[in-house]
A and B are shown apart, each in its own frame.
Chain A
Amino acid sequence: MKIEILGTGCAKCKKTKEIIEKVLKETGVEAEVVKVEDVEKILNYGVMVTPAVVVDGDLKTVGKAPDEKEVRKWISQ
């Protein structure tokens, strides 16, 4: 599983990474977590506000840090 966090390094982007890593640790799910800061790559997803999260190429959320429940749902699908 590949989880991409789209964002240029703001507080919500950092929080998003923390939440995802926490849930991965708790659940034992193995995933590659990649921070995408390249604006062109972010725009290629059509994302205009960050943070955003992409799981295996599927855009899950935009403009907010997800809660743990959401992340658990994404990684169990």
Chain B
Amino acid sequence: MVEDTKCSCGSANVAIFPCVGASNVGQLSNKVAIELEKQNFGNLMCTVGIGARVPGLMKSAEASERIIAIDGCPVNCARKTLELAGFKVDRHIVISELGIKKNKDKNLKDNEISEALEKTLEILQSE
């Protein structure tokens, strides 16, 4: 859960949903999402809350102009969770497709965090 709520006044309202899966790339999806929020790309939101159909999360996603799903691997749990709930995913990032191999090590390496973030930013800024 993020530490703060965002007012929807003014700037474009973008929701960021990471998969937060049980692998290096799953955990990297969360790190990248947190950094994107810090850099004002959008609001980090709880993907499991969408799976649970929590009304506040569902309505927060509905209120977002754009939705970014960040998956660790091609199983695409975040994107599928959102789509099953009826949401259109505007941008989909898959961390393992950014040159980082999936493994079960949850001790994330700083260089992998930087690499994943840098490549994600390149993709998002190229739009």
Q: Cβ of B13 < 8 Å from any Cβ of A? A: yes
Q: Which of A21-29, A48-56, A69-77 forms contacts with chain B? A: A48-56
| Contact (Cβ within 8 A) B55 A59 | yes
List residues of chain B with CB within 8 A of the CB of A51. 7-8
Assess whether A47 is in contact with B8, with CB atoms less than 8 Å apart: no
* Given contact pairs A63-B64, A64-B63, A12 touches B8 in the complex (Cβ within 8 A): yes
Q: Is the CB of B60 within 8 A of A48?
A: yes
How many contacts A-B (CB < 8 Å)?
Answer: 76
In the complex with contacts A62-B60, A63-B60, A46-B55 CB distance below 8 A:
yes
28 A/B residue pairs, CB under 8 Å, sorted by A: A6-B5, A7-B7, A8-B7, A10-B7, A10-B9, A13-B7, A39-B4, A43-B1, A46-B54, A46-B55, A46-B57, A46-B60, A47-B60, A48-B6, A48-B57, A49-B7, A49-B13, A49-B64, A50-B7, A59-B56, A61-B59, A62-B56, A62-B62, A62-B63, A63-B8, A63-B13, A63-B64, A64-B63
A interface, CB within 8 angstroms of B:
6-8, 10-13, 39, 42-43, 45-52, 59, 61-64
Instruction: Tell me how many residues of B have a C-beta within 8 Å of chain A.
Output: 24
A52 and B56 contacting across the interface, CB-CB below 8 Å = yes
B interface majority secondary structure: loop
Interface centre among B5, B49, B62, B63 (most CB of A within 10 A): B5
12 extra A-B contacts, CB within 8 A, seeds A11-B9, A45-B56: A13-B7, A43-B5, A46-B54, A46-B60, A47-B5, A47-B56, A48-B46, A49-B7, A49-B43, A49-B64, A50-B5, A59-B55
Q: Counting CB contacts under 8 A, is B95 at the interface?
A: no
Q: Which of B1, B6, B60, B64 has the most CB of A within 10 A?
A: B60
